[in-house]
């Protein structure tokens, strides 16, 4: 207790000193400047008083002195002068004749003074002289004697009292400023403490709830704090992020850690994941059935979480053999070799798929959110299908839930309405929605005719996650623009209709290490195999790009950069090949068909321009590749190029880094990806700037091994520490906190 009091007193003393020390220094400087000024003023006043006094004495003695001088009565002149100097301030008197001879003087008249020159005719001011006996004031007044002409009466006043009074004045001034400093400091500290207490109360009001806003009360913020509210909110968010990161650092994020978190924080709930794309696709191949994983960042990220937590994954069954392997409840255990969770498939008609998936989701929301150079298309018929399919998936969630408060992970823009539908059917459910693509600014989102419906649906979430703080901020501003809600920016929560939604940024990642990492050949073998495939020698340089065939991925810009680097560096001709793996995507849409044609045409043009016997600069592989095959390309390449024009995160960048256990290879990364905000050691480029990207390619191909190692080592540490289990764990922890708070609020309302 004593230590706490002592610490509090020390803090109070330090706070007081922050006010007192500058104030004391300022007052001290002011006193130093004031003392000489006061000295000059007092000296001026005393000189004027001495002049008046001398003139008065001279006028008083004049007539009597003239009479005695005429009588030449020396004894009476000396007697007159001696009687006059009995005044304690008048030190001495003397009389000089017109020839400047001192005829009469009192005993104390300074020998060194003699007969001073008379003053000018237009002034009667005296002067101060510093003699051995001290400073004196000397005044000379004419005395008119008719018989002998005009002489001079010299009056010498002692100035020592002036010095004593000046010193007293200086002491008074210093004492005055000292007292003033004490009084002003006391008042300042008192007022500052009162103001500081008010400010602290305002800050405490913003901090109440430990980062989660009070659902039923508006925090009281002092008016003086209003100009600082924005900065304080940013600071609080930064501190909250640091706190959560510190919490995360105490956990080694792994499948076991994720399972333990579910058991402790969410009472062992099984997770229900909802996505459009299924993690495994069964397709007919001859007389058999082939199983493969789709080219999807969502699947790459979420599938390891499901393996760790078990549960049910609800998705659209799109494979040609999907129905053949499911049971009568449309379920199948996956992965096929070692089943760890259940895949529940939803069957859509061709009309539903065209309206919900190809129409509203990918002709409307996809270009809208990516701010791509493709105009969004919104049709009422597509909207109806989108709404109906969302309801189909909501019904499936209710069927699969084994309690009234399941944990549901809703994935991506295909299901913006789903959280609200689940909330209406299962009010106690914990709904975590993650938006895998960017979120546009409010003006852009306002294009959508059903913007309010989409936002209301998303606010059915307990937790709503985005890749970056920028996308989170855009969403909050969009809700603020189009809905009547209460938004608390310091806790990043939205309150609407009595329910609370936490909106946060959760940068997604990948599994570490990849499950096939141990089965991969050594990097040297992957390099040799890749170059044999290209018909090139061991020193041949290889770049790799892995994307869906989508207009947001910057594939055309990438090919132009490859063309430019060969044009600027002819020595790369025949020595460098860029391999583009481009999985076909949404080929039923006209925009994607046109983009596919553009990609093939550009690759053909560049190859025709530079190809020589047995070599072409671009190898376009527009077909699906399994993750393990893609991983071998990563390990065998010298550089990986990611040039997305707008992307949420882009996990290709992290997959490439995870694959390079040799700590070699260079990542070129678009500044418009979420990954660019984390992986600063990559070569960051603006993909629209073709020359800049070309320069980055050349730099990557010529980068010395030691620099590659330093960059890759740092990026691998980031991907290892911030893996997909940490991504899911942070969302689940936040969901558990909100869930506990809502239960407490409900209990309080019941007791009121």
Query: What 3 state SS string does 528-585 have?
Result: HHHHHHHCCCCCCEEEEEEEECCCCCCHHHHHHHHHHHHHHCHHHCCCEEEEEEEECC
Whether residue 406 is predicted with pLDDT greater than 80 in this model: the reply is yes
Q: Model confidence at 205, in pLDDT bands (50, 70, 90)?
A: low
Indicate the fold that domain 17-165 takes in CATH.
Answer: Beta-Lactamase (3.30.450)
Task: Decide which of 3.40.50.300, 3.40.50.2000, 3.30.1360.70, 2.160.10.10 is the CATH code for 258-347+385-481.
Answer: 3.40.50.2000
Distances (CA, A) of 699 to 163, 511, 654: 82, 30, 20
Q: Model confidence at 158, in pLDDT bands (50, 70, 90)?
A: confident
Instruction: Find the angle CA(206)-CA(209)-CA(215) to the nearest 5 degrees.
Output: 90
Whether residue 742 is predicted with pLDDT greater than 80 in this model: the reply is no
Residue pLDDT, tens place only, 5-57: 444 455 555 656 666 777 777 777 777 777 777 777 777 888 888 888 888 88
Tell which wins on pLDDT, 112 or 675: 675
Which residues, 6+ apart, have CB-to-CB distance to 677 below 8 Å?
468, 507
Q: Which of 124-128, 370-374, 720-724 has the lowest mean pLDDT?
A: 124-128
Q: Please give the mean pLDDT across all residues of the chain.
A: 85
pLDDT of residue 121: 52
pLDDT of residue 203: 58
Cα gap 639→703, rounded to integer Å? 10
pLDDT of residue 207: 46
- Indicate the pairing of strand 127-131 with strand 134-145: antiparallel
Tell which wins on pLDDT, 28 or 110: 110
pLDDT of residue 218: 39
Distances (CA, A) of 7 to 3, 10, 661, 736: 6, 5, 51, 36
Residue pLDDT, tens place only, 553-593: 999 999 999 999 999 999 999 999 999 999 998 888 889 99
Indicate the fold that domain 517-722 takes in CATH.
Answer: Rossmann fold (3.40.50)
Instruction: Find the angle CA(91)-CA(96)-CA(101) to the nearest 5 degrees.
Output: 120
Residue pLDDT, tens place only, 616-656: 999 999 998 888 899 999 999 999 999 999 999 999 999 99
pLDDT of residue 215: 34
Whether residue 225 is predicted with pLDDT greater than 60 in this model: the reply is no
pLDDT of residue 57: 86
Tell which wins on pLDDT, 602 or 262: 602
Q: Is 641 helix (H, G, I), strand (E, B) or coil?
A: strand
Q: Which of 72-76, 258-262, 436-440 has the lowest mean pLDDT?
A: 258-262
Residue pLDDT, tens place only, 293-308: 887 778 888 888 888 8
**Nearest C-alpha neighbor of 489 from the set 90, 130, 219, 151:** 219
When pLDDT is averaged across residues 715-736 and rounded to a whole number, the result is: 90
Highest mean pLDDT among 76-90, 173-187, 230-244, 586-600: 586-600
Which residues, 6+ apart, have CB-to-CB distance to 86 below 8 Å?
none
Domains 17-165 and 517-722 share a fold: no
- Indicate the pairing of strand 331-334 with strand 311-316: unpaired
Q: What is the DSSP string of 204-270?
A: HHHHTTTTS--TT------GGGGGGHHHHHHHHHHHHHHHHHHHHHTS--SHHHHHHHHHHHSTTPP
Tell which wins on pLDDT, 248 or 65: 65
Tell which wins on pLDDT, 253 or 431: 431
Q: Which of 202-206, 214-218, 225-229, 614-618 has the lowest mean pLDDT?
A: 214-218
Give the domain ranges of the chain.
Answer: 17-165, 258-347+385-481, 517-722
Whether residue 3 is predicted with pLDDT greater than 60 in this model: the reply is no
Whether residue 326 is predicted with pLDDT greater than 80 in this model: the reply is yes
Cα gap 46→237, rounded to integer Å? 68
pLDDT of residue 8: 47
Whether residue 208 is predicted with pLDDT greater than 60 in this model: the reply is no
Tell which wins on pLDDT, 59 or 415: 415
Whether residue 122 is predicted with pLDDT greater than 60 in this model: the reply is no
Whether residue 309 is predicted with pLDDT greater than 90 in this model: the reply is no
Q: Model confidence at 69, in pLDDT bands (50, 70, 90)?
A: confident
Angle between helices 297-309 and 255-265 (to 10 degrees): 60
């Amino acid at each position: 207790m004593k230590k706490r009091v002592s610490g509090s007193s020390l803090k109070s003393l330090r706070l007081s000193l922050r006010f007192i020390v500058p104030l004391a220094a300022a007052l001290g400087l002011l006193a130093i400047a004031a003392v000489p000024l006061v000295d000059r003023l007092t000296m001026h006043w005393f000189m004027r008083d001495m002049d008046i006094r001398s003139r008065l004495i001279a006028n008083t003695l004049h007539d009597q002195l003239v009479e005695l001088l005429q009588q030449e009565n020396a004894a009476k002149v000396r007697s007159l002068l001696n009687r006059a100097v009995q005044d304690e301030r008048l030190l001495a008197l003397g009389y000089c004749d017109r020839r400047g001879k001192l005829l009469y003087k009192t005993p104390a008249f300074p020998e060194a003074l003699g007969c001073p020159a008379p003053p000018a005719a237009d002034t009667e001011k005296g002067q101060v002289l510093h003699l051995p006996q001290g400073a004196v004031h000397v005044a000379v007044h004419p005395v008119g004697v008719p018989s002998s002409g005009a002489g001079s009466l010299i009056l010498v006043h002692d100035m020592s009292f002036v010095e004593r009074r000046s010193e007293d004045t200086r002491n008074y001034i210093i004492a005055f400023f000292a007292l003033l400093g004490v009084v002003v400091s006391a008042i300042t500290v008192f007022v500052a403490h009162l103001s500081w207490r008010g400010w602290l109360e305002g800050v405490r009001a913003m901090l109440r709830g430990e980062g989660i806003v009070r659902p039923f009360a508006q925090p009281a913020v002092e008016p003086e704090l209003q100009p600082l509210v924005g900065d304080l909110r940013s600071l609080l968010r930064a501190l909250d992020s640091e706190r959560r990161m510190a919490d995360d650092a105490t956990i080694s994020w792994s499948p076991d850690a994720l399972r333990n978190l579910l058991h402790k924080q969410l009472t062992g709930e099984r997770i229900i994941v909802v996505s459009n794309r299924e993690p495994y696709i069964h397709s007919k191949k001859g007389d058999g059935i082939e199983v493969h994983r789709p080219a999807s960042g969502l699947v790459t990220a979420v599938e390891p979480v499901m393996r760790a937590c078990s549960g049910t994954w609800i998705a659209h069954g799109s494979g040609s053999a999907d129905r053949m392997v499911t049971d009568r409840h449309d379920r199948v255990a996956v992965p096929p070799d070692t089943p760890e969770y259940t895949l529940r498939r939803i069957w859509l008609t061709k009309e539903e798929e065209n309206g919900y998936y190809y129409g509203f989701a990918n002709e409307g929301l996809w270009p809208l959110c990516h701010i791509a150079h493709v105009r969004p298309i919104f049709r009422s018929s597509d909207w109806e299908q989108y709404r109906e399919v969302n309801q189909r998936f909501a019904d499936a969630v209710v069927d699969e839930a084994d309690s009234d408060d399941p944990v549901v992970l809703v994935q991506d823009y295909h299901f913006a309405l789903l959280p609200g539908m689940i909330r209406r059917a299962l009010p106690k459910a914990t709904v975590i929605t993650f938006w895998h693509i960017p979120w546009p600014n409010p003006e852009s989102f306002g294009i959508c005719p059903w913007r309010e419906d989409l936002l209301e649906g998303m606010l059915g979430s307990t937790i709503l996650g985005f890749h970056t703080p920028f996308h989170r901020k855009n969403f909050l501003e969009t809700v603020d623009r189009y809905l009547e809600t209460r938004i608390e920016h310091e806790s990043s929560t939205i309150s609407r209709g009595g329910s609370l939604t936490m909106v946060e940024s959760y940068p997604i990642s990948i599994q570490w290490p990849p499950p096939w990492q141990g089965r991969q050949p050594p990097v040297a073998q992957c390099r040799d195999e890749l170059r044999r495939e290209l018909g090139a020698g061991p020193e041949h340089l290889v770049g790799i790009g892995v994307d869906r065939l989508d207009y947001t991925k910057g594939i055309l810009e990438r090919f132009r950069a490859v063309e430019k680097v060969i044009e600027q560096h002819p020595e790369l001709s025949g020595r460098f090949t860029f391999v583009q793996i481009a999985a076909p995507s949404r080929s039923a849409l006209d925009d994607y068909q046109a983009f596919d044609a553009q990609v093939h045409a550009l690759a053909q043009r560049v190859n025709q321009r530079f190809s020589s016997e047995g070599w072409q600069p671009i190898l376009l592989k527009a077909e699906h590749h399994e993750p393990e095959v893609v991983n071998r390309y990563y390990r065998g390449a010298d550089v990986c190029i990611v040039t997305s024009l707008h992307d949420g995160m882009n996990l290709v960048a992290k997959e490439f880094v995870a694959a390079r256990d040799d700590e070699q290879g260079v990542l070129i990364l678009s500044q418009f990806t979420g990954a660019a905000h984390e992986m600063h050691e990559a070569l960051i480029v603006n993909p629209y700037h073709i020359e800049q990207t070309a320069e980055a390619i050349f730099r990557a191909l010529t980068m010395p091994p030691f620099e590659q190692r330093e960059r890759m080592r740092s990026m691998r540490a980031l991907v290892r520490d911030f893996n997909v289990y940490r991504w899911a764990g942070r969302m689940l922890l936040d969901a558990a906190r909100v869930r506990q708070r809502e239960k407490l609020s409900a209990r309080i309302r019941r007791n009121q």
